[in-house]
Structure 1
Amino acid sequence: MDDSESFRDILNKALSMIDSILAQENRALHERPLIASIEFVSLCIEKVRYKDQDEFEPGEFADYLDSDWFKAIFLKTQSWYSSRYGEAINTSRDSGIEGVTVIYNTPFLLKIPTTTVEAGTPGETVWICFHDALQPEEDVLGWIVNGPNLSAASKSDGIKLRRLSVEVANRLRSIKIHLMEITETDARVAEFRREIIPHLERAAQQIVRGKATDYKRAHWDIQMACEFAFKLLSQQRSGSFQQTHDLFFLYDHMPGDALPLKRTHLSKVPSWERMAEWRYGGGPIVSLDETFRCYRAALQIIDETLAAAKRRFRFGKAKFHTRKPPWMSKPDNSD
């Protein structure tokens, strides 16, 4: 591989183009160096000649991920990103999901981890574990952000708040896993898939703020998350979806097999017309109880709808034994 200034020029120009695309796709900064390195190899490198090796084709990522020549490209790409974004490139986005629970008639944020780490070979490897539900050793109450003092809670209050928190955590973990597994048959499926969790998180954040206007606005994000789940499934099944906000209409016109979700469950969510009115502050006051019931119903609607989607993999109880990626270590004679 040529380490001349001309190669750097080619790399820098390519990275400018690639990073622009990754930004449009809303890729987190900490993810971009690796993705951009792989894209550069795919788009710009036909043959590799590195040190004393004969010329060869790069192949697929799995073929070259531990090679010295890819390590060199990755480190140069990482340097380019550090130069462009500074310290921001080192900020990793938390993989948890934000939900909401209610304690003492007060909403609190839940920060739900979607993966856990188990020890592997000391100092060398770990197990990355994906979960679609709460594990026996996990304490959901420990995920409450700035929560109240629960030591004085009555037994009945303790049981209720734990039950509600577990319900929300399990639904959100299941939704996250479904979205990881779903087959993106086209760009619209990818678009719908990408927007569901942000809408649910925004709804949770609005509920936690605890103001009447926030309860109203949270309903529109709840509506959109449900709507995108239905449209994702329809698009995946038939290549199209109904242009409507009406969840009953989307349910009734879903192509393919019947959904596991019961139609009557949609009645637990207000009509989209009412939600649109609340979005702009209109209509009667909405209580926390009404909003939280709607939020919980939406989690069930989305979870059970996505469960019917096509998927290539099953991650719900998956564990991956992994070590520090070889392309992260510095290769010999690399600058």
Structure 2
Amino acid sequence: MNFCMKNDLILVFILIISMSDSVFGQEKRYSFEKGLMGSPFKLVVYAANDSIAELAAAKAFGRVEELNEIMSDYRDGSEINRLSAQSGSGKWVPVSKDLFEILDISLSVSKKTKGAFDVTLGPVVQMWRHATRKGIFPAQEEIAAAMQKTGYSKMKLNRKASSVLLTQKGMRLDIGGLGKGFAAEEAIKEVKKLGITSAMMDAGGKIVLTNPPPGTDGWNINISNGSDSLKALKLSNISLATSGPTYRYMEYNGVRYSHIVDPVTGIGLLFHVRTTAICPNGTISDALATAFSVAGIEKTKKMVRKFPGTTVWLVERKGDRVAEWNTIKQ
């Protein structure tokens, strides 16, 4: 075979590879789901091939599992439970970057919402979990005793040393109100490291979105008011969280109590129906879905101004009627 013929064959081979890349290298939709943090986590990515998509899923879910080891209040040896165990000791406890970051965010939200969001409600949440399993409404004395161990002002943070002081004995932190949003944000960061630009992580209703799917102008997202109204939105590079007592609640003597506890009374919300918060950040949207649920419509109208770029759809019962307020543009 002469030199010219070899060159011709090489050129043909390169052309075939290029054609294959253009035909088969287009981004395809891949979907993965895994049970994590007590909820289904669903990841959708648009990737060039199976290998990249599968690696993205492994990295994303692996990051969530890593965070669960740190933040789960269900695991005795988790970092957050080890921190809670040192409450009232007078010690500043050094914590990991992840735990400090989420506690720092939570404290900021607590201050801006005047306590409508509070990660120190762990003793009250634990009490209600036990009550729900037993089907017994807690005595007022038990509620009062649990409430004495709460209050976001009792959690102090030292940013320079990344350390935390819990000032009262018996405190227990519970970041269930923003943990999934934080995990979804972190999972998407792992996906982006692989060069994937279009992805969605749905962490049990806490959703983080990046660029739209290829050839579209947004992700198709449907949100409900909890009964008969539905909004179909096209969203991208945004996060949203929806909260409501549809599946998690306690019913006692014909009264339904939400799984979301009012930090003032220590009792599950009675009038909350559904809240959706749409924000630039998944951790904040998760926290605000809880905070706005607690605050109710009138207080939320003032509160939302402290969170630029946030829109909300809030539904609550007022007597025999349902009241709604939303700033979501369709």
Question: Is TM > 0.5 for Structure 1 vs Structure 2?
Answer: no
Greater share of strand residues, 1 or 2?
2
TM-score by length of 1: 0.25
TM-score by length of 2: 0.26
Higher relative contact order (CA 8 A, sep 6+): 1
Greater share of helix residues, 1 or 2?
1
